Amino acid sequence: MNLCDKCFAVIEKGAPFCAECGAPAGGDPTEGGSDALVYPEIAKANLHRMRGEEAEAEKICLAILRRFPNNPTSHVLLGDIHFEQAQLDQAKQWYEMALELAPDNAVLKAKLDRVSSEIERESVACGVSSLEVKPPGRGMAALLASVLVLVLIVAGLSFWLGNASRRTRADAIEPISINGLAPVRRAEPPNEQAKKEAKEESQAPSTTPTTQPAPTPAPTMSAAESSLHAAAISQLGPLGSRLSQVTYEADQTGAVATLIGEAGADVGRDSVEAAQVGAAIVGQGLARVNVRVLDPTSRNIRFSASMTRESLAAATGQPGTAEWAASVLLNASPPLAGG
């Protein structure tokens, strides 16, 4: 007899997750759990969030949690909804509850750190605004102007006295007369010495060290790309195990995703999986994504398509169906029947 680690209900033998709370039977919240069962609802809630219909998205997530209280993806999505509405305290609470369900999720930890930093920044900004000094009145402005004039007068007197002192010292070192004849003192013009020093500096060899260009690193996923890859996997459930790579485009607003296709799958199946991958990545805040589906044996591209934030927002049909995939995918190759 197996017991759920979260609610201690009896789990039937062979069941992938607890029927009472939705926690995965293996104890690892990042490996499927109830996400596979409620994926269409999660995708629909995420679509409402991207369209700006936060109330409807929150309603769907809460309905999922009433069925499966330990579903981590619904907690994360509720945190995202409140964060985008600048409700930082509520977003932090949802992220903390999700982190209790998935303590090893690096993407979730990054989201919690981000909202905590925003809360701290707002607190500091409020404290600074309360300590702002009001601009001085007319009386204070007149006093400051008087002090400035006095400083300028003192600076002018100091400059004049300094010049007079230098002239006095120059007159005091006249050559001594011997037998009535004094050698003629030939003084160089004041700027002659400066010209000589500048000429010597220009003729001195340059000692600026030359730097060698750094070697170009091998093309691998960066830390940001690895985080995006992990976030997409957490949204895809079992399909995420075949998402092999996600890389940013040059402008950092788009990405390229590589999915290992299912053996023997047709174009319709590939298009649905490509649309699910695209929705998971665009849902992380990107403007577009290009998805490539590779043959599992030859590793050749057998299907490719793109998706934008606008095409996903204009989706029709039930998420996870061929009709839905045809409505959100662009430039599909091979072409789709309803695209």
Selection from 253, 266, 267 nearest residue 224 by Cα: 253
Per-residue pLDDT at 306 exceeds 60: yes
Residue 270 covered by a domain:
yes
Q: Quick: pLDDT tens for 113-157.
A: 999 999 999 888 887 776 665 565 567 788 888 898 989 999 888
Same domain, 6 and 112: yes
Q: Residues of the chain with pLDDT > 90: what percent?
A: 41
Listed residues 64, 95, 127: the one ending a domain:
127
Q: If you write DSSP's letter for every residue of 67-135 in order, what string do you get?
A: H-TT-HHHHHHHHHHHHHTT-HHHHHHHHHHHHHH-TT-HHHHHHHHHHHHHHHHHHHHHHHHHTPPPP
State mean pLDDT over 206-222. Answer: 52
Residue 113 covered by a domain:
yes
Find how far residue 161's CA is from the centre of its chain. 60
Residue 266 covered by a domain:
yes
CA distance 42 to 45: 5
Band of pLDDT at residue 101, cut at 50, 70 and 90:
confident
What's the confidence (pLDDT) of residue 272? 94
Residue 256 covered by a domain:
yes
What's the confidence (pLDDT) of residue 162? 80
Q: Quick: pLDDT tens for 150-163.
A: 899 998 888 888 87
Residue 147 covered by a domain:
no
Count structural domains, the chain.
2
Q: Quick: pLDDT tens for 271-298.
A: 999 999 999 999 999 999 999 999 999 9
Query: Measuring CA to CA, how many Å separate 98 from each of 10, 14, 59, 80?
Result: 23, 25, 18, 12
Domain range spanning residue 256? 223-333
Q: Output the domain CATH number for residue 316.
A: 3.30.300
User: What is the pTM assigned to this prediction?
Assistant: 0.47
What's the confidence (pLDDT) of residue 7? 61
Listed residues 89, 106, 127: the one ending a domain:
127
What's the confidence (pLDDT) of residue 211? 47
Return the SS3 of 11. Answer: strand
Q: In whole numbers, what is the pLDDT of the chain averaged over residues?
A: 80
What's the confidence (pLDDT) of residue 98? 87
Q: Output the domain CATH number for residue 85.
A: 1.25.40.10
Same domain, 122 and 6: yes
Residue 141 covered by a domain:
no
Return the SS3 of 301. Answer: strand
Residue 185 covered by a domain:
no
Residue 305 covered by a domain:
yes
Please give the residue that has the higher pLDDT: either 236 or 22: 236
CA distance 119 to 125: 10
Please give the residue that has the higher pLDDT: either 314 or 173: 314
What is the Cα Rg of the chain in Å? 36
CA distance 6 to 70: 8
Element containing residue 141 per DSSP (H, E): helix 138-172
What's the confidence (pLDDT) of residue 79? 92
Listed residues 102, 127, 152: the one ending a domain:
127
